[in-house]
């Protein structure tokens, strides 16, 4: 297969932990060809197809110089067997526009994973609203008085922006309501921006679990991201410790309920965040943790993903 990865600049990859790199390595091991571009390199003009300025790359196996690349060339996305959208959040306007270009490429015959429409339809904080049976007490609002009422009811709450990533902008407010007004002003920007508010789940002390779903099926191990010191956030980007664990019965129940629904919508890969028994986010843009799980358990998540990708392409071809 000839694969195009749409991602952040590969020169900045931290290959010891990067999931996109793990996908590339497994794909090359199987003999598939690799090319890369950034979202800024996508373009379209009437009368033509969605094009990109791409570089063909080969992985070297040398950690210090881990790839060689061709000179950039123009290529239609429809020429590739699969296009993998792996741009990291935030999901800003330019990301949104990229999904429209990728959807046009689909109309021209490209196969894009995850499906561009599904990326737009599943904002990572708000996607949980569809599955209330699996989430804790949650509020989405712009109104300060709504947040204050929620705090009065639940006493210990988490507030976060809808467009945050890596734990950015997350606040905890306890029973004393210390700084609640200032936090609301910071996040809702005088009522112009929506905020998600959730009851604090003390089970975070045991980790914020990333449960991966590939091709509608749960990966048997998750990565529990455990807050360190006085930090309330378990995100690895915020200093959390990643510990791989076998899925619990509840983790599996959640994954088996959500997996087929998400897969049917074109989400080949999703990362469901679970604290205790509750889903807190559904990550679809560029879910991670492949390498951490493999390093600690030997479960080759990248191989499971490429298996699913190959099966999806074979199904389309035979269909």
Could you state, in order of their start, the residue ranges of all structural domains in the chain?
2-120, 142-200, 203-318
CATH class of this structure's domain 142-200: alpha beta
| pLDDT value at residue 235 | 81
* DSSP H/E element including 281: strand 278-283
CA distances from 196 to 126, 140, 187, 191, 257 (A): 8, 5, 9, 13, 23
Among candidate residues 233, 235, 251, 292, the one labeled active-site is 233
| pLDDT value at residue 1 | 96
CA distance 31 to 252: 33
CA distance 79 to 82: 9
CA distance 313 to 319: 10
Asked about 188 being catalytic, the answer comes back as no
pTM: predicted TM-score of the whole model, two decimal places? 0.95
Tell me the percentage of the chain whose pLDDT exceeds 90: 91
What backbone phi and psi angles, to 5 degrees, belong to 87?
-70, 130
**Per-residue pLDDT tens for 206-228?**
999 999 999 999 999 999 999 99
| pLDDT value at residue 107 | 98
| pLDDT value at residue 75 | 98
**Per-residue pLDDT tens for 219-260?**
999 999 999 988 888 788 778 899 999 999 999 999 999 999
- Find, among 254, 281, 278, the residue nearest to 204 by Cα: 278
Among candidate residues 18, 26, 124, 281, the one labeled active-site is 281
248: which 2 tokens?
């619990």
- Burial zone of 93 (CB within 10 Å; 0-12 exposed, 13-18 middle, 19+ buried): exposed
DSSP string, 102-117: HHHHHHTT--EES-HH
CA distances from 54 to 51, 69, 199 (A): 9, 10, 45
CA distance 319 to 106: 17
| pLDDT value at residue 317 | 62
Using CA of residue 262, residue 266, residue 268, residue 270, what is the dihedral sign? Answer: negative
| pLDDT value at residue 318 | 58
| pLDDT value at residue 230 | 80
| Exposure class string for 3-21: b at 16+ Cβ within 10 A, else e | bbbbbbebeebebebbbbb
Among candidate residues 25, 55, 160, 199, the one labeled active-site is 160
Among candidate residues 18, 208, 251, 273, the one labeled active-site is 273
Entry field: residues in the chain = 319
| pLDDT value at residue 24 | 98
| pLDDT value at residue 237 | 78
What backbone phi and psi angles, to 5 degrees, belong to 283?
-95, 125
Strand 67-69 to 73-76 pairing? unpaired
Among candidate residues 115, 125, 199, 209, the one labeled active-site is 125
CATH class of this structure's domain 2-120: alpha beta
Spatial contact of 160 and 208, defined as CB atoms under 8 Å apart: no
**Per-residue pLDDT tens for 167-189?**
788 999 999 999 999 999 999 99
CA distance 208 to 205: 8
Asked about 172 being catalytic, the answer comes back as no
Asked about 233 being catalytic, the answer comes back as yes
Asked about 94 being catalytic, the answer comes back as no
Which whole number is the average pLDDT over 21-44? 98
Same fold flag, 2-120 and 142-200: no
Q: Is the pLDDT of residue 151 over 90?
A: yes
Asked about 225 being catalytic, the answer comes back as yes
Asked about 210 being catalytic, the answer comes back as yes
The CATH number given to 203-318 is 3.30.470.20
Q: Is the pLDDT of residue 319 over 70?
A: no
Task: Report the range of poorest mean pLDDT among 121-135, 154-168, 247-261.
Answer: 154-168
Using CA of residue 173, residue 176, residue 178, residue 181, what is the dihedral sign? Answer: positive
CA distance 201 to 199: 6
**Per-residue pLDDT tens for 90-104?**
888 999 999 999 999
Asked about 38 being catalytic, the answer comes back as no
Q: Is the pLDDT of residue 271 over 90?
A: yes
CA distance 278 to 274: 5
* DSSP H/E element including 256: helix 249-264
**Per-residue pLDDT tens for 286-304?**
999 999 999 999 999 999 9
| pLDDT value at residue 91 | 87
Q: Is the pLDDT of residue 313 over 90?
A: yes
Tell me the percentage of the chain whose pLDDT exceeds 70: 99
Spatial contact of 146 and 191, defined as CB atoms under 8 Å apart: no
Q: Is the pLDDT of residue 203 over 80?
A: yes
Spatial contact of 278 and 242, defined as CB atoms under 8 Å apart: no
Asked about 111 being catalytic, the answer comes back as no
Among candidate residues 115, 124, 210, 235, the one labeled active-site is 210
CA distances from 130 to 104, 122, 127 (A): 27, 10, 6
CA distance 57 to 64: 15
């Amino acid at each position: 297969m000839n694969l195009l990865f749409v991602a952040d600049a590969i020169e900045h990859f931290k290959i010891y932990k990067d999931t996109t790199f793990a996908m590339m390595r497994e794909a090359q091991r199987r003999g598939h060809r690799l090319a890369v571009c950034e979202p800024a390199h996508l373009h379209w003009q009437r009368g033509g197809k969605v094009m990109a300025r791409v570089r063909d790359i080969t992985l070297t196996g040398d950690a210090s110089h881990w790839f060689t690349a061709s000179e950039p060339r123009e290529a239609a996305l429809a020429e590739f067997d699969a296009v993998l959208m792996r741009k990291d959040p935030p999901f800003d306007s330019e990301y949104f526009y990229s999904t429209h270009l990728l959807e046009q490429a689909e109309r021209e015959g490209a196969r894009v994973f995850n499906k561009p429409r599904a990326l737009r339809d599943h904002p990572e904080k708000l996607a949980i609203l569809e599955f209330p049976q699996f989430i804790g007490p949650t509020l989405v609002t712009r109104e300060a008085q709504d947040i204050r009422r929620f705090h009065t009811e639940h006493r210990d709450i988490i507030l976060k922006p809808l467009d945050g990533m890596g734990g950015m902008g997350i606040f905890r407010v306890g029973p004393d309501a210390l700084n609640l007004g200032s936090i609301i002003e910071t996040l809702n920007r005088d009522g112009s921006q929506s905020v998600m508010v959730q009851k604090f789940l003390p089970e975070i002390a045991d980790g914020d679990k990333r449960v991966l779903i590939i091709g509608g099926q749960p990966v048997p191990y998750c990565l529990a991201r455990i807050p360190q010191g006085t930090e309330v956030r378990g995100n690895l980007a915020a200093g959390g410790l990643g510990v791989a664990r076998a899925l619990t019965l509840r983790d599996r129940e959640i994954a088996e309920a959500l997996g087929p629904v998400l897969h049917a919508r074109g989400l080949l890969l999703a990362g469901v965040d679970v604290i205790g028994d509750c889903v807190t986010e559904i990550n679809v843009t560029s879910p991670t943790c492949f390498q951490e799980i493999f390093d600690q358990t030997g479960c080759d998540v990248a191989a499971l993903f490429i298996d699913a990708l190959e099966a999806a392409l074979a199904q389309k071809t035979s269909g």
